[in-house]
Structure 1
Amino acid sequence: MKIFLATLMMSLILLGCSESRSPVNEQSSVPALSKDSVKILSTSPADTETLKAGSSVKIRYEVQYNLASTDTGSLTLVVQDASYETLGNEFYVVHKGSGTEILEAEITVPESRAVQVFTPLSPQGSSSTTVVDTRLYKVEQ
């Protein structure tokens, strides 16, 4: 699992260095339902909230996805601190087509400057993905 997370992080870093637009939000002539996509619809706590170090927090995300490239895949909730240490991780198997899932994890907020939440969609058989949406929380000590 650490290899998957490292690959995911490197993909995101490389995308940030080489692209000025997010592939998830990019408009193109390809209809949205013909490609893989993922979008965070709602967050709890709200992504505008500041988290307090040491507190226990239930992370709850409503995520919309479209899986077009394979028959099955995984939709994952990954919660990390500013040092990329995994705080929570849960995945769900999804089938070809569109849908909405509720992704949840309970974490203890670390003494870190930030907590980041990723929701990657990974087609079955793929070792990495660039189909991801993210949110960032500030942490106060």
Structure 2
Amino acid sequence: MVEILGVKEMTGSRLKLVWCLSSIAAGAIAAAYIQVIFNPFGLGTAESPKFSWPLFDQVQNGQPIEEVIELLGEPIREPEVLHVVSPLEGGEDPCFPSACKTYRFFGRSDSFWPVLGYQEAIVVVGPDDRVVSTLVREE
């Protein structure tokens, strides 16, 4: 073996091993890049079976939550309780003094990089199980 600048020259099987390992690493980096930029498998996105943004726009205040679930499909997780600390100024707050529930439906992002942006569709339901508000949270 010849030594060049303090580093032994690689021969045969060592060179092949280094080439294989660097090829695997380059392939993993390329696959991660494709997943992060284009998200071909839709990882990190969940949506109700029937969900679409035009259907979500049809949800009206006062509508029973059963109708909303029939329209959009089952929510992606159990409803969460929304506790209100103080009522809205100058108006009636249906979530005060009792609590409301939030039902979450997700939509896909228009962004090629889902980590940077997505939209979350939320339906807020009052104590009488009727829609109080619809929200679109964007990040």
- Please tell me the TM-score bracket, short chain as reference: under 0.3
By relative contact order (CA 8 Å, sep 6+), the higher-ranking structure is 1
Specify the structure having the higher radius of gyration (Cα): 2
TM-score scaled to structure 1, two decimals? 0.25
Higher helix share: 2
Higher strand share: 1
TM-score scaled to structure 2, two decimals? 0.25
